[in-house]
Structure 1
């Protein structure tokens, strides 16, 4: 196999390659922020060194990732829609924030269990295809949650046509992850947002605090936190 004469220029100039590398570095930094040396079975010194290195690289990687994303969205040669990549899924920082926000409310359980309404659940509230006896590691659950957050954002974007701040989007994706995209897209909340009443949409969140017909304190607290994030992001954007 013969390499082309300018292979280095082609490789280093390819935004898609840099985009992937930056994404991997950002995810690595996020991973080291979630685990401990004991969980990995690593020597604490080696763990601290690796964590510090990836955290130091995370910021420039995220900046590169965002720059690459802008070029990806501007590149129309492949007929890529601007709405093809969501606000959260398109930013390593926003994705990390969304995963952390959703994860704290869902809670982590690595063994399959029945939730409050009897549905088999595992990890951070994952229900799709879960069977009794299923078991996952924390790393697998974290990866699953990141994929699900991006997936739920994409499903919400099919009906949410309004442009909203990142914080509001994280709150709405958290809500959608909890209630399901079908219910979310049929809601008064989305109708208000699409009509331009973003504040009114935020205030709809507390209404979604029931499970099995009963008011659940945990859901009430979650909706209150989502509304707070929703409203604060609108204040900051204004």
Structure 2
């Protein structure tokens, strides 16, 4: 999945321009090193000077592409601003991993059904606006699932201020998607994480194994897997 502003990044970001410049100079230096003055119709002195200039240009371009410069530091056209996007919106790999993990627990149905507490559900655990008789295609479910996971992460990020490892974030996204971002944000789990007790936060997950006031074995299994994933990153 491309970033939403990928076209602007390619056309305006200094990092892209400098990488292209470095590639051009590096390519020219390779060409010059493989030819000679006679082929180019130059005197040996001019040829040597040309080779030196091109190689010097390649060196400078590589420094500009890799080191901090005033122009590069001031440019923000290709940057992901802090807090602008979450892990899932900014990383196709993280989104795919979350889809795989959460989808394995949610299951998929292209036809609306009632869950264990009687709520109409479709696709991968989607309940928003779902009613009896609703039908979706696999592609519609894929699109809906990804968008809702990104949405739930954004809602969780409004209350989860702690910086957590990627596996832990995936586990917490799975939990929030299942229990709701409102309940997640009011939880002791988030309070512990924000206080810096990440291990304690992970151990809160098994407490969320009830639906309709009773313990659900499937939820217990899911919370156990989420806790294991959460702790694996610590």
Cα offset, 1:77, TM superposition: 6.7
The corresponding residue for 1:13 is 11
Question: d(CA) in 1 for partners of 2:113 and 2:104?
Answer: 18
TM-score normalised by the chain length of structure 1: 0.66
Cα offset, 1:139, TM superposition: 1.5
The corresponding residue for 1:108 is 108
The corresponding residue for 2:28 is none
Question: d(CA) in 1 for partners of 2:154 and 2:11?
Answer: 29
Change (3 A) 1:12 1:83: closer
Question: d(CA) in 2 for partners of 1:75 and 1:154?
Answer: 26
The corresponding residue for 1:131 is 131
Question: d(CA) in 2 for partners of 1:213 and 1:162?
Answer: 30
The corresponding residue for 1:149 is 149
The corresponding residue for 1:233 is 233
Change (3 A) 1:220 1:200: same
Are the equivalent residues in 1 in contact too, given 2:12–2:78 (CA < 8 A)? no
TM-score normalised by the chain length of structure 2: 0.67
Question: d(CA) in 1 for partners of 2:221 and 2:229?
Answer: 12
The corresponding residue for 1:182 is 182
Moved more, 124-133 or 79-88: 79-88
- Coordinate RMSD, CA, aligned: 2.3
Question: d(CA) in 2 for partners of 1:218 and 1:11?
Answer: 44
The corresponding residue for 2:56 is none
Q: Count matched residues.
A: 168
Change (3 A) 1:134 1:75: farther
Are the equivalent residues in 1 in contact too, given 2:107–2:125 (CA < 8 A)? yes
